[in-house]
Chains A and B, each alone.
Chain A
């Protein structure tokens, strides 16, 4: 190694944005984790191996250090590029350091999502109440190339064209034809729902779980539909009748 004796800046801060994948561990059982992740890696090719991954534990209060350690080892063994652990009161930077990971605060906005258990059964549970002032009402058609973002619920009273995109942190209601994309719960709210008078969408998504047009169930095409998340899968129900 050479030692520089010149007075010159040896570092520079670069304000670069970095995309990281958050791996949300609902279960720390290392055997099922190994099986499911390795299968996913086969399906999804390189994306998990290349991207830096932040581990977020679903139930930090129940997670023992041993479980965490084996889970992290399992993931590392599969070649997942772990960089940090999402911070929780129970999982502070000391725990992260013990696992050989950095500690990152993902809390902004996501706490809201996690404070409420995801609606499992669908219609029995009320959607989370977004503050009324965050509700956005759109009365004009949403045209191809336009994007509408609502911090709470989004209500659209006109057609949404192919190539248009609706994004909401809460629920999305469309009292007309949806031909474009609708993404509800974009910040992780798994209890968010999409309601639509006439479903002809390019893509629908709730909290990142999506379906493209090709995968929409035929029985609900061009019908009044509500969509919610049932576990990891999107569930469709008749908007009018009992589901």
Chain B
């Protein structure tokens, strides 16, 4: 049984691609056969974060148009078993995505017995985002603890409850969970950022995880290795927790309070 998961947010730059990469990698590390698809046609990024940008031959639009078959389009990850990447096309735009085409790709992945398909949605609420979400069985809404991101996430949650295939078939809302990223407990304490509780109260959805603001995320992007591979870092550990919760394990939330740093911590900590 293949589970299709959309990672979405409405607002751009909040960490959808970082999250998609981490989630897919985390699931594969636990032995689940997983594909992550970049739906951001025209603004391809996932391949960079996954560190496979030099191995891209075909892309999602090629597969949709039949220029290549699915097996040719999928890039196998070199670090983790069971992990595949289907990059976006950089030369086309979102109109190249058709509902039939996306369905064909997803059915192909079902035939390959993928356990999880992670759809990395583009920002916005237009065609690309709608196509990424349409066939989803479950959604992860990535939000930063600030008001504009929260409002956009709220908008996306509304769209998810009406514009997915399940909603159209009258099978009800797909389950959606919140992943709060770039969380800085220090800034919450200073009142510069919304707290987890604030965001949850406004959005009224279950919390999948809280990822602390971390230099490790930027380092991971630069080096093309998903941050979840860096289990020395707080962000990597937080993503590992989120993956565990995603597949049904219970994990307490960490990194929600500011660490009390000593003098050396202040000087050298990060």
List A residues at the B interface (Cβ < 8 Å): 140-146, 158-159, 161-164, 177, 179
Contact = CB atoms under 8 A, between A and B. Distances in A.
Contacts of B151: 144, 161-163
A142 B157 CA distance: 10
B158 interface: yes
Contacts of B154: 143-144, 161-163
Nearest to A177: B201
Describe B's contact surface by its main secondary structure: helix
Given A143-B158, A143-B159, A159-B204, 17 more contacts: A140-B161, A140-B173, A141-B157, A143-B155, A144-B151, A144-B154, A144-B155, A144-B158, A145-B155, A158-B204, A159-B201, A159-B202, A161-B154, A161-B202, A162-B151, A163-B154, A163-B155
Contacts of B158: 142-146, 164
Nearest to A143: B158
Interface of B: 151-152, 154-155, 157-159, 161, 173, 201-204
A179 B202 contact: yes
B55 to A, nearest CB: 39
Contacts of A161: 151, 154, 202
Contacts of B201: 159, 177
B123 to A, nearest CB: 15
Contacts of A141: 157, 203-204
A163 B150 CA distance: 12
A146 B167 CA distance: 15
With most chain B CB atoms within 10 A of its CB, the pick from A143, A146, A162, A164 is A143
Nearest to A147: B158
A145 B202 CA distance: 15
